[in-house]
Amino acid sequence: MTDTTEQDRVLIFDTTLRDGEQSPGATMSHAEKLEIAGLLDEMGVDIIEAGFPVASEGDFRAVKEIAERSQDSVICGLARANPGDIDRCWEAVRHAARPRIHTFIGTSPLHRAIPNLTQDEMAERIHETVSHARNLCDNVQWSPMDATRTEWDYLKRVVEIAIKAGATTINIPDTVGYTAPVESADLIRRLIAEVPGADEIVFATHCHNDLGMATANALAAVAGGARQIECTINGLGERAGNTALEEVVMALKVRGDIMPWTTRVDSTKIMNISRKVATVSGFPVQYNKAIVGKNAFAHESGIHQDGMLKNAETFEIMRPEDVGLAATSLVLGKHSGRAALRAKLEELGYKLAENQLGDVFVRFKELADRKKEVYDEDIIALMRAGEDAANDHLVVQSLRVVCGTGAPAEAELAMTVGGETRQATATGDGPVDATFKAVREIWPNDARLELYQVHAVTEGTDAQATVSVRLEEEGNIATGQSADTDTVLASAKAYVNALNRLIVRRGRLGEDRKEVSYKDVS
């Protein structure tokens, strides 16, 4: 089995597909979830929490198919503390080579008040539901949600109950990012020392980043005796996010002198999956994000550049190659051929079939005709723009904008809606406003624009602009992204990309999505 209590190994439990997807606007399609799960499995993640099977038929299908396709990782599903959730979870993960059921209940006073359970009533429910899960599966994880705000005596009591009921992993969540490193380490250390049977199971840590300490808290918990870290790619997650997988993996790798624990994650695959998650979630990685940000290995200060030229270790504690970045960057242009493009794509982590390469090559040539030089970031943006467009219900075909002083901007837009071409003309307060109004004429909607953000992919007046758009409609939030040398066209595509995600999220094209609450534990 993958699970182990070896003192020098830390298990990596990735919950990008479950907790990460809860980040507002980060809904992923079925195909995207399968692809990310495959990449996580390939890079050596020990446990993949594939979803919350009872949440919807779509979630159930995704978890089930990920379980059936899994090669090496444990495949885990989440279930609330009731038999129906647990049965549904087991039905989804049972065909995995290594299945796991993860069940939880909120144990802090605030969370106990939601189902209106006394301490004794909740303790009984924990015993019953963990026992039920263990009767189905020999790999059971249990979590006392909001553990860091649960009374110490009660936390000890329920952890002991869960262990006696058959839990093989006890996860201690810092659900609201409240704790600090010294507390995180001490909590795990005391549980191991004081709870009977604690030395026979694996303790895990699940930290949120509300105070910016998720990575520090996770590593502190390991120092206290935890041997599983729950994390997400790019730190994706609710509110300020979760512990970032890339940060804990590289911290353990770089600082093995003071943190003598290892993981089996292949760090050279980090950049590829980081880009993929950023693309499918619609959440761009901030430039100064540790490990995977655009500036993580960039040096502009004269002193830093001079030091780097003399010895890279002067200002770099890890090599770009360690996380999957190429040591050198080959700049492409309009005279570059298919072989050069294929080599660049493989260098960036994209493996394409011949027909796929042909399609990308056409789009690359179109871009190269508009730009003198095509950089890595341009290629990545090109790949993002083309992914899954064939499956979108709404597709931008053409856009013509007239704007200037003294008159409203006018946008003439052509789109396909379910394969049918439609056109509209609209005026607005600027080219982007006119364009978005034209989209709404073609596809009427009540979505509210929560975010509109533009940044250049590379330098120069011919740089591609990456546009991010976040929409909210009836409580559903979706984020869309697109890139183009034409900022207004990129805006239209990003807006339509967000609308396509709302369509999937709300089930407007027939997907059955039944929203449930984690707090509904009755």
Helix axes 338-347, 354-370, angle to 10 degrees: 100
Helix axes 376-386, 338-347, angle to 10 degrees: 90
Q: What's the Cα-to-Cα distance from 59 to each of 77, 92, 382, rounded to whole Å?
A: 10, 9, 29
Task: Tell me if 242 is assigned to a ligand binding site.
Answer: yes
Domain ranges of the chain: 11-281, 297-323, 328-386, 390-506
- Residue 374 is encoded by which pair of tokens? 């095509």
- Residue 454 is encoded by which pair of tokens? 């533009």
pTM: 0.80
Per-residue confidence (pLDDT) for residue 508, from 0 to 100: 44
Alpha-carbon gap, residue 258 to 262, rounded angstroms: 12
Top-level class of domain 11-281: alpha beta
Per-residue confidence (pLDDT) for residue 386, from 0 to 100: 62
Alpha-carbon gap, residue 226 to 188, rounded angstroms: 7
- Residue 13 phi, psi dihedral angles, 5° rounding: -110, 110
- Residue 94 phi, psi dihedral angles, 5° rounding: -60, -25
11-281 matches 390-506 in fold:
no
- Residue 222 phi, psi dihedral angles, 5° rounding: -65, -40
Q: Which fold has domain 390-506?
A: Double Stranded RNA Binding Domain (3.30.160)
Helix axes 245-254, 214-223, angle to 10 degrees: 50
10 Å CB burial of residue 91 (0-12, 13-18, 19+) is middle
CB within 8 A of 510, min separation 6: which ones?
Answer: none
Task: Tell me if 520 is assigned to a ligand binding site.
Answer: no
pLDDT less than 70: residues of the chain: 1-7, 298-316, 326-330, 384-391, 507-522
Residue with tokens 């809860």: 22
10 Å CB burial of residue 320 (0-12, 13-18, 19+) is middle
Per-residue confidence (pLDDT) for residue 49, from 0 to 100: 98
The one-character DSSP state at 318 is S
Per-residue confidence (pLDDT) for residue 132, from 0 to 100: 98
406: region left, alpha or beta (phi > 0 left; psi from -120 to 50 alpha): left
Per-residue confidence (pLDDT) for residue 387, from 0 to 100: 58
Per-residue confidence (pLDDT) for residue 510, from 0 to 100: 43
Pairing of strands 99-106, 74-80: parallel
Contact (CB, 8 A) for 471 and 457:
no
Task: Tell me if 295 is assigned to a ligand binding site.
Answer: no
10 Å CB burial of residue 390 (0-12, 13-18, 19+) is exposed
Task: Tell me if 217 is assigned to a ligand binding site.
Answer: no
C-alpha angle 289-293-295 in degrees, rounded to nearest 5: 105
C-alpha angle 127-123-117 in degrees, rounded to nearest 5: 130
10 Å CB burial of residue 312 (0-12, 13-18, 19+) is middle
- Residue 494 is encoded by which pair of tokens? 């990003």
